[in-house]
Structure 1
Amino acid sequence: MNRAGRVLAVVRRLCGLLMAVALLAGLPMLTGCAPKGRAVGDSWNDGTVPHDGVDRSDILVALIGCPQTGDKDPDAGLDSRILASLKAERIKGYFSSAQSTSDQQDGVQDAVNRGVSLILIRRPGAGNWTPVLKAARKAGIPVVEFAQSAKAWTPDPGRLYYAATVHPVDPAGHPHSPMLADALQTIVDDGPHARIMAVRLSADREGAEDEHRQ
């Protein structure tokens, strides 16, 4: 990792620590960690100078689960597959379960307090997301939606609060789609990426049938 990458990693750690101190002390939120006019993790432009990013061993992803809509969960096991996919590519992650939109938002706030590298939200529920998304933005933490299909999340018309939507695809039918870990690494590093990205949870056919159903 070169000097620019080391500086980026240090700045993000400091943002997380400063946010935690501000929350504990009841101080106003700090805003210096948020890029002007763009979402954290989506502020690159054609003039951005290429640089090495954050080491994968230093990345921590908070996976926020989705509320269950019925007795039978059609996505049973998906959270475990997401974390296993990240672990296989040397990215650490933890799971925050949720039974409601409020639980999801509490999980996001907890992730902000912990100073994670990226927040990955599965199927965000309906509700007012602006306060917690603002908190993540002010802390300099990119937010990504993990969706079932290639459809952008709706609460962010100004593209200020979340960096991208990712959705899983069959690795056999989409061999050139990036691994989830690679897509999230690009966002953490604020590299060029699409607003909606198809991603693979596994590198081969194993587990493809389950992914294709998501």
Structure 2
Amino acid sequence: MSRAGQVLAAVRRLAGLLLAVALLAGLPMLTGCAPKDRAVGDSWHEGTVPHDGVDRSDTLVALIGCPQKGGKDPDAGLDSRILASLKAERMKGYFSSAQSTGDQQDGVQDAINRGVSLILIRRPGAGDWTPALKAARKAGIPVVEFAQSAKAWTPDPGRLYYAATVHPVDPSGHPRAPLLADALQTIVDDGPHARIMAVRLSAE
């Protein structure tokens, strides 16, 4: 091989080595699906490229019940109304009962294992929610709090690991509020949404 050929071969080897180093350096950026310091389902920002979302009939919601006080649920029947609301809009859901915060967090882990589309938690109990919320975030599953009022979830004051809080309103007084299924679908599809959203459980 001529001197010029040897130089050219050496340059090509060096270029290949530099390319390999560059690719390896970029690997950590490719391994995580969740955006840094943002909740899954809350990563939309101005300039985000629109994408086709999950088909409504393929969306599965895990509804985690709230701990009961004194053996009584002040909102008896609400879980059934929530599931009926989802079903009416062609969205699948299942209920996971809970007697304590630990039960709720176990329900979150079970939902992660099932590979659900979204986790909806009714009135999260007091306690350390960070491990459960981080696990859901790592799995790419948005977590939404179902509250009775328009108040942000206190267990995650930094709002890094849950996507939104939704609360039911009277359809007649709030005709423009989205249906629950529509709000949850927007979150699953990572569309733009408010942190706290009023939702209707029925059209009327």
TM range (shorter): 0.7 to 0.9
SS state at 1:105 partner:
helix
5 Å-filtered alignment, 1:130-209, equals: 130-204=130-204
* CA–CA distance in structure 1, aligned partners of residues 168 and 191 of structure 2: 20
* Separation (CA, whole Å) in 2 of partners of 1:201 and 1:144: 15
Deviations 1:59-105 (A, max 9, x none): 10000000111243220000000000000000000000000010000
Q: CA deviation at 1:197?
A: 0.1
Q: Quick one: distance in 1 between partners of 2:78 and 2:32?
A: 36
- Normalising by structure 2, we get a TM-score of 0.83
In 1, distance between residues paired with 2:42 and 2:92?
Answer: 22
Shift of 1:173: 0.3
SS in 1 for 2:127: coil
Report the Cα distance in structure 1 between the residues aligned to 2:130 and 2:76, rounded to whole angstroms.
29
2:195 & 2:121 partners in 1: Cα distance?
Answer: 15
For residues 203 and 51 of structure 1, what CA distance do their matches in structure 2 show? 27
SS at match of 1:81: helix
Query: 1:37-76, aligned counterparts within 5 Å?
Result: 37-76=37-76
Determine the C-alpha separation between the residues in 1 that align with 2:40 and 2:186.
Answer: 12
**1:48 Cα deviation from its structure 2 partner:** 1.0
In structure 2, distance between residues paired with 1:33 and 1:109:
18
Give a deviation string over 1:12-61, Cα, whole Å, max 9, x none.
xxxxxxxxxxxxxxxxxxx6221122100000001112233110111100
Matched residues, number: 174
Q: Which residue of 2 aligns with 1:95?
A: 95
Partner of 2:80 in structure 1? 80
Moved over 4 A (4+): none
Question: What's the counterpart of residue 125 of structure 1?
Answer: 125
Q: Show structure 1 runs of 5+ residues with no match.
A: 1-30, 205-214
Q: How much identity, in percent, do the aligned residues show? A: 91
Structure 1 SS opposite 2:99 = coil
The range that moved more, 149-158 or 99-108, is 149-158
* Structure 2 runs not aligned, ≥5 long: 1-30
CA shift, 1:160, in A, is 1.5
Residues of 2 paired with 1:70 and 1:148: CA distance?
19
Task: Tell me how far apart the structure 2 counterparts of residues 159 and 125 of structure 1 sit (CA, whole Å).
Answer: 16
Structure 1 CA distance, aligned partners of 2:163 and 2:149? Answer: 16
Tell me the TM-score normalized by structure 1: 0.79
* CA radius of gyration, larger in: 2
1:117 & 1:144 partners in 2: Cα distance? 11
Q: Does 1:36 align with 2:36?
A: yes
